[in-house]
């Protein structure tokens, strides 16, 4: 599962592949995010897609028609150290919850 993640290096290839394989379909983009302490563990749905890596000031293109963010830790200035300290179990838990919710919504 983790070996097939989309990241900054393969983002444009993955989006192009999805658009080629499913022309005319809406693209739902799922990403982990940093938020407030109260938001940790929540899922946010954003109409209009999202900018992956925005919390880390990455200059990636906005992608997707719908964005789904799982808030995995608190945002602080210079958040890279917080991101490294984020427990992968938190990320996996939210990823599984989002995948289950999407699969049930579109079943």
> How do residues 28-50 score in pLDDT, each as one tens digit?
998 888 889 899 999 999 999 89
Which pTM does this prediction carry?
0.82
Q: Mark out the alpha helices in the chain (DSSP H runs).
A: 11-21, 80-85, 88-105
The larger pLDDT score, comparing residue 74 to residue 66, is at: 66
* Residue 83 confidence (pLDDT): 62
Give Cβ neighbours of residue 49 (< 8 Å, ≥ 6 apart): 27, 29, 62, 63, 64, 65, 66, 67
pLDDT band at 53 (very low <50, low <70, confident <90, very high): confident
Distance from C-alpha of 83 to C-alpha of 107, rounded to nearest angstrom: 33
């Amino acid at each position: 599962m983790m070996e097939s993640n989309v990241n900054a290096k393969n983002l444009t290839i993955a989006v192009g592949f999805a658009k080629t394989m499913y022309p005319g379909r809406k693209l739902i983009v799922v990403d982990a995010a940093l938020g407030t302490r109260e938001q940790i563990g929540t899922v946010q749905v954003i109409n209009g897609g999202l900018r992956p890596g925005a919390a880390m000031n990455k200059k990636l293109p906005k992608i997707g028609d719908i964005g789904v963010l799982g808030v995995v830790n608190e945002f602080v200035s210079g958040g890279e150290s917080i991101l490294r300290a984020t427990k992968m179990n938190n990320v996996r838990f939210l990823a599984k919850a989002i995948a289950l919710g999407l699969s049930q919504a579109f079943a």
